[in-house]
Chains A and B, each alone.
Chain A
Amino acid sequence: QQQVKQSPQSLIVQKGGISIINCAYENTAFDYFPWYQQFPGKGPALLIAIRPDVSEKKEGRFTISFNKSAKQFSLHIMDSQPGDSATYFCAASGFLGNQFYFGTGTSLTVIP
């Protein structure tokens, strides 16, 4: 059973546009929700993370929106750039350091 469901599978956005990736989870024991960016041949790199005590967290062009009642969270990439083209994974864990459950990934392509 997939603990974290991610959509869409792929996304094409024009340069300067907003990229939005969504994730949903079932386990209410999860309390840490990171997003990772992965380029081909590289390991995932931590982008931004949120705890359920806040509804939004922003770091530069990246924003996480969190809806605890709906058990959903999303990544927004503002002013998307071609260099943002990568695969993005959402994840969830019961507490920091516990095993992470990853979504299936979203392949983002930003066209110039």
Chain B
Amino acid sequence: DAGVTQSPTHLIKTRGQQVTLRCSPKSGHDTVSWYQQALGQGPQFIFQYYEEEERQRGNFPDRFSGHQFPNYSSELNVNALLLGDSALYLCASSPGEAEQYFGPGTRLTVT
């Protein structure tokens, strides 16, 4: 049984560009959450998707948007990239309201 998978592993973008990160949840999990983890910091909640709807959102600007597909996979989109968006982006899945399991993350570098 595959765990949470994310793609790509690493990504380098230029300021002002747009990026899309992808997440496939663990089998049987219908809820996906996204987190941003800056170097040396704990993960910060971006938003959570359930039944293809954004259920909850953290303190992130509208440049951060997402989507959940009928198969529960999810995308995180970031527009107008800033240097400060450089971070490890983590996806976590859970079977409804239960423990969250994290993927390996996507390392985004903005130059």
Partners in one complex: yes
How far is the CB of B67 from the nearest CB of chain A, in Å?
Answer: 18
Residue of B nearest to A95 (CB): B97
Task: Fill in one digit per residue for B91-108: 1 if any A CB lies within 8 Å of its CB, else 0.
Answer: 000101111111111000
Residue of A nearest to B56 (CB): A99
Q: Which one of A34, A43, A46, A97 lies within 8 Å of B31 (CB-CB)?
A: A97
Residues of B within 8 A of A105 (CB): 40-42
A89 to B43 Cα, complex, angstroms:
9
Whether the pair B90, A43 counts as a contact (CB closer than 8 A) is yes
Whether the pair A89, B33 counts as a contact (CB closer than 8 A) is no
Residues of A within 8 A of B24 (CB): none
A97 to B97 Cα, complex, angstroms:
4
Tell me whether A96 is interfacial, beta carbon within 8 Å: yes
Tell me whether A49 is interfacial, beta carbon within 8 Å: yes
For the complex, count residues of A whose C-beta is within 8 A of B.
Answer: 23
Tell me whether A104 is interfacial, beta carbon within 8 Å: yes
A45 to B31 Cα, complex, angstroms:
17
Q: Is the interface of B mostly helix, strand, loop or mixed?
A: loop
Task: Fill in one digit per residue for B12-46: 1 if any A CB lies within 8 Å of its CB, else 0.
Answer: 00000000000000000001010100001111110
Whether the pair B43, A44 counts as a contact (CB closer than 8 A) is yes
Would A46 and B101 be within 8 Å (CB), given that A99-B48, A101-B45, A105-B41 are in contact? yes
Task: Fill in one digit per residue for B67-98: 1 if any A CB lies within 8 Å of its CB, else 0.
Answer: 00000000000000000000000100010111
Whether the pair A44, B102 counts as a contact (CB closer than 8 A) is yes
Residues of B within 8 A of A98 (CB): 56, 97
A104 to B43 Cα, complex, angstroms:
8
16 residue pairs A–B, Cβ–Cβ below 8 Å: A34-B99, A42-B104, A43-B103, A43-B105, A44-B43, A45-B102, A46-B100, A49-B99, A96-B99, A98-B97, A99-B48, A100-B33, A100-B35, A101-B45, A104-B42, A105-B41
Chain B interface residues (CB < 8 Å from chain A): 4, 31, 33, 35, 40-45, 48, 56, 58, 90, 94, 96-105
